[in-house]
């Protein structure tokens, strides 16, 4: 069987030019294109391998950083994805314990920063005033302002002033402000 006289119209997989192939399995217009394609593929494989190595190295680096109680600012950037400026601000504000081992050798507490950056997001969404003053008293142990004015015959503004003056813990529930009976009774009842 000699060389087939059949010519098959094809597109070169490397240069994209149309050509007439001698066999159905021919993929390139010339040996030059075939060689170039092979090299390009090898190059690509090399690059993928390189990226893989970088990924593995960074994973190893992160794992290693996570074993140390004190880390550098750059390592904190890698670990938490926050900026150096943010970290420096937190250190300055005394929010993160840091030790200075010399110029450019600041080490910060990893555990500390870890607890900050896992805890910070959720509660911050609520406005500040929504945080009620912690009140250990049950609602049944409290008066509303209305109940105090009724019981002791004092004006709401007097009640309000008294609460503030004595730093009585209060809790707002809907429209009502609740204050502990025991503290109110002591002030108004003792008169
Ligand atoms: Zn070609």
DSSP 3-state of 67: coil
Model-level pTM? 0.38
Most confident of 58-62, 94-98, 147-151: 147-151
Rg (CA), the chain: 37
Structure confidence by residue, pLDDT tens digits, 76-110: 888 888 889 998 998 889 888 888 887 778 899 88
Say which CATH topology domain 135-189 has: Multidrug-efflux Transporter Regulator; Chain: A; Domain 2 (1.10.1660)
Q: Residue 3 is encoded by which pair of tokens?
A: 């060389």
Sign of the C-alpha dihedral computed for residues 92, 96, 98 and 104 taken in this order: negative
112-126 confidence digits (pLDDT tens): 888 877 543 444 444
What's the pLDDT at 4? 54
pLDDT of 105 reads 84
CA of 46 to the centre of ligand 1 (A): 23
Q: Residue 124, Cβ neighbours under 10 Å: how many? A: 9
How far is the centre of ligand 1, averaged over its atoms, from the C-alpha of 20 (Å)?
A: 11
Distance, CA 148 to ligand 1 centroid (Å)? 94
Query: Quick one: tokens of 8?
Result: 């098959």
Residue 34 Cα to ligand 1 midpoint, Å, equals 7
CA atoms within 13 A on the CB side of 156: 7
pLDDT at 58 over 50: yes
CA of 15 from ligand 1 middle (Å) equals 4
Residue with tokens 């005033």: 129
Please tell me the distance between residue 80's alpha carbon and the centre of ligand 1 in angstroms. 49
- What distance in angstroms lies between residue 23's CA and the mean position of ligand 1's atoms? 15
Give the CA distances from residue 97 to residues 13, 69, 94, 179, in Å, rounded to whole numbers and listed in that order: 60, 11, 7, 38
Phi, psi (rounded to 5 degrees) for 164: -70, -45
Give the residue-averaged pLDDT of 30-35.
94
Q: What is the rounded CA–CA span in Å between residue 76 and residue 116?
A: 12
List the beta bridge partners of residue 143. Answer: 179
Expressed in angstroms and rounded, the spacing between residue 51 Cα and the centre of ligand 1 is: 29
Structural contact between residues 116 and 95, judged by C-beta atoms closer than 8 angstroms: yes
Distance 32 CA to ligand 1 centre (A): 7
Cα separation of 130 and 138, whole Å?
Answer: 19
Sort strands 70-72 and 106-109 into parallel, antiparallel or unpaired: antiparallel
Q: How many angstroms separate the alpha carbon of residue 13 from the centre of ligand 1?
A: 7
Angle made by CA atoms 62, 63, 68, in degrees to the nearest 5: 95
Model confidence at 191, pLDDT cuts 50, 70, 90, reads: low
Average pLDDT estimate for 131-144: 72
Ligand 1 geometric centre to CA of 18 (Å): 8
């Amino acid at each position: 069987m000699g060389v087939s006289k059949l010519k098959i119209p094809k597109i070169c997989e490397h240069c994209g030019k149309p050509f007439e192939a001698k066999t159905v399995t021919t993929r390139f217009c010339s040996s030059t294109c075939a060689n170039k394609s092979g090299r390009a593929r090898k190059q690509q494989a090399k690059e993928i391998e390189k990226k893989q190595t970088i990924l593995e190295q960074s994973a190893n680096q992160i794992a290693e950083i996570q074993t140390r109680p004190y880390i550098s600012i750059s390592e904190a950037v890698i670990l938490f994805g926050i900026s150096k400026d943010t970290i420096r601000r937190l250190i300055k504000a005394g929010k993160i314990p840091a030790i200075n081992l010399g110029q450019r050798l600041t080490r910060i507490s990893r555990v500390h920063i870890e607890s900050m950056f896992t805890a910070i997001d959720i509660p911050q969404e609520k406005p500040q005033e929504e945080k009620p003053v912690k009140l250990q008293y049950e609602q049944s142990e409290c008066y509303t302002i209305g109940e105090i004015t009724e019981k002791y015959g004092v004006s709401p503004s007097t009640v309000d002033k008294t609460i503030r003056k004595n730093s009585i813990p209060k809790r707002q529930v809907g429209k009502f402000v609740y204050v502990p009976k025991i503290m109110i009774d002591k002030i108004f009842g003792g008169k």
